[in-house]
Amino acid sequence: MADQVQHRPFGVRFGEAIDFLKAKLPEASVAWDSLAGPVHAKVFTVAGATSADLASDIHQSLVEALANGETITSFRKGFDAAVQKHGWAYNGKRGWRTNIIFDTNMRTSHMAGRWAQIEANKERRPFLQYRTAGDARVRPAHRQWNGRIFPVGDSFWSTHYPPNGWNCRCTVRAYSQADLTEKGLQQSPPYPMETRQVVSRDGTVTDVVPKGIDPGWDHNVGQSWINPELALGHKLARLPRELQGLLVDKTITPAYQQVIEGRWKTFRDEAKAAPVPKGEAQIVGFLDSRTLDGLAKVVPALKLESTAVAAFDDQLPALLTPPTPAATAAGAAPAWPAAWIDGLPGELRAYRAVLWDKIAGHLVVVPQGTLGKAAQPHLPKIVMRPNEVTKFGEALAVIELGSAEIAELLNAGRYAILAGQLR
């Protein structure tokens, strides 16, 4: 009975919450914090579940529990079956481990679904109020946010939308302006966010999070579901530069890469179908630590406003239109195959080399593979212009998907190698 009372909030069927959990891609993982917080909204992992098949079975048990409005008791049956099937010797006691898995996924699923509803109704109810459970178990930091009211679009909700830690029971309530007036409420003054460093046992700084929020929870789970690459970009922007590349290195997993590629294809198809550009952009990747270290050494004066790489809809015609047969016959650089364009996020990440164009002030990523004839091979290149303004902030803009002969790229008078090698 106590078990049912404890988990009653999860006994409600909730379409958006089910969609959120069902859409996650299971992936093997050693530790929960091996991924950045926003990535967990798209990738399902269980700490220590080093088999993707094991993670998939646990994920399916959670989806069934949520879809059927079941309690943790029902989930534990599926968990036990998965453990026995895969011979998993997990750490911790069964009750603690299953409670953490169940509670975390149910709460994040419901709050992600709640955010989808909030976004859909923000014209009618444009304000949110932070609400705690109101008992002695509420953390002091969370208690200080209780009752604060901010617009749906306020940056406060990008970091403080609950849950804000393990076993956090906080939630939000939406209000219209008429509701606020009737209840004598008003919008809160801007919140002065303070941060703290997260330090590992060996004294290394691994993260920076707002005070009062557990590491890995400093993101809006709904935004991370609806706009995953944008949420990760916001997380990276809050970190010092020396941590940004390291977080990208460990957090862009094959499953998350699949998410980014899928969103790139959707953006490209919609932009091609639109009669005129809408001024939209899509993040297709982030600079890794090797590239950022190379930039710091070779171009120390460059101040990157963001490490996100974006494609713009008004640039797509130039990016996607191959040279004409006449231009090719005249010696024009060969075009990218369609499969390479589809996999642009992956080409950015699995590069051969990264160069700095000293004359144009552009970053040039040289993916794997070659183009053109064997007798005169060309290397593909992705040319990016730093600090381009977008609706979601600055980004490196992809301005060319082209190719060049290796001799051209080896011209030290123009190009400096930041990472990798051309030969």
Per-residue model confidence (pLDDT) at position 324: 59
| Nearest to 34, CA basis, from 24, 21, 20, 48 | 48
Per-residue model confidence (pLDDT) at position 328: 55
| Nearest to 380, CA basis, from 418, 419, 333 | 333
Collect the ranges in the chain with pLDDT lower than 70.
Answer: 1-13, 322-332
Name the maximum alpha-carbon separation found in the chain: 79
Per-residue model confidence (pLDDT) at position 325: 59
| Under 8 Å between Cβ of 295 and 254 | no
pTM value? 0.88
Per-residue model confidence (pLDDT) at position 323: 61
| Nearest to 152, CA basis, from 132, 127, 172, 170 | 127
Per-residue model confidence (pLDDT) at position 374: 72
